[in-house]
Amino acid sequence: MVKQIAAVVLAIGSCGAHASLWVGQAPNVVQGPGLAFDVATIKPVETDAKASRFIIMQGTNRFVAKHYTLKLLIAAAYDLNPKTVSGGPAWIETDPYDITALTPGAVRPAREEQMAMLRGLLADRFKLTFHREAREYSIYELEEAKGGSKLKPTAAAPGDPPALISTVYPDHLLLPARNATMAEFTSLLQRAVLDRPAVDKTGLTGHYDFDLSWAADETQFGGEIRAASAEAQAPPFFTAIEQQLGLKLEATHGPVDALIVDGVERPSAN
C-alpha cells in the first residue's frame, strides 16, 4: 500500500499542511475592524526534523499553525519567500512554535483575513517591528512555454474559493489546483516549493483547474521533502510544469520587496 504523507502546502483559503501559502501582498499593518483572533495560545516546541509543519483552519473558527519558526510565520503572514526575510536574533530561524487561535464570527474567515489576524498576533505577542526595502535576488519568472499554456478554465462555481493542496507520496508529489489564478500559483511556488522568489510573467488572467505531478528534489520545500529516487516515474518539476501545464520557469535576477526585522521578542505568556 502506498503510504500517503500529510498535505504539503496550504490550501488557499481553507485548509492544508506544511509550508504555508497565502496569496496577495500583505500590508505592513492590520487594517479594518475585527481582524484579530478572539484568543490565541502560543507554545514553544522541541525542534523535530520529522514533524509535520502546517497552517490550517479546522472547522469555522479554529486556526492552527504547527511547528513554525517565527521567520516562517513572518513569511507566511506577509506572503514572502523565507529568503527575503532577514534580521532579528538567531532564534527566529531555529525555535519552532505551535499556535492555536480562535477567529471571531460565525463564518470561516477568508485567507487574507486569517493572515491579517496572524500579522496582528506577531505584532502583539512577538512585538514584531520591521521595515521593507527592495533588494536584488535570484528569482524565477513564470512564463508560457513555447506552444502556449495547456491550462483549462475552471469548472468551479462563481464565488468558490481557490484551492491548491500538494500531497507527498514516496515517489512523487501531486498538486491538484482548482479555481486558481497564475498569481496564486506563483505565490505557492515561491512560498512553499521553490528555493527563491517567483514572479508571474505569464500574462494569464483567468481561473484554472489543473493537476501537476512531479518528482521532488533537494532544492524544493526547503529541503524538508526527501528527494525522489532515480526510479521515480514522475518527471522533475521543471519538466513537469512544461509538459503538463505549458508553462516554464526562467532563472534570472530582479528586485524583491524584502522584509527586514528591526525588533522582536519571544512571545508573551498565554
With respect to residue 60, please indicate whether it lies within any of the assigned structural domains.
no
Chain-centroid distance, C-alpha 250: 20
The mean pLDDT of the chain is: 84
pLDDT exceeds cutoff 50 at 245: yes
pLDDT exceeds cutoff 60 at 31: no
Whole-angstrom distance between the N-terminal and C-terminal Cα of the chain?
43
pLDDT exceeds cutoff 50 at 20: no
With respect to residue 76, please indicate whether it lies within any of the assigned structural domains.
no
With respect to residue 181, please indicate whether it lies within any of the assigned structural domains.
yes
Number of structural domains found in the chain = 1
Domain that holds residue 140: 135-255
With respect to residue 247, please indicate whether it lies within any of the assigned structural domains.
yes
CA-to-CA dists, residue 73 to 20, 53, 63, 186, angstroms: 9, 11, 13, 19
pLDDT exceeds cutoff 90 at 226: no
With respect to residue 213, please indicate whether it lies within any of the assigned structural domains.
yes
pLDDT at 220: 85
What is the mean pLDDT of the segment spanning 52-57? 86
With respect to residue 97, please indicate whether it lies within any of the assigned structural domains.
no
With respect to residue 139, please indicate whether it lies within any of the assigned structural domains.
yes
With respect to residue 248, please indicate whether it lies within any of the assigned structural domains.
yes
pLDDT digits (tens, 9 = 90+) for 81-124: 999 999 999 999 999 999 999 999 999 898 889 999 999 999 99
pLDDT digits (tens, 9 = 90+) for 150-196: 999 999 988 787 888 777 777 788 999 999 999 999 988 988 889 99
Gap between the Cα atoms of 166 and 155, Å rounded: 20
**Whole-model pTM?**
0.78
Show the cell assigned to 133.
Answer: 526595502
pLDDT at 34: 55
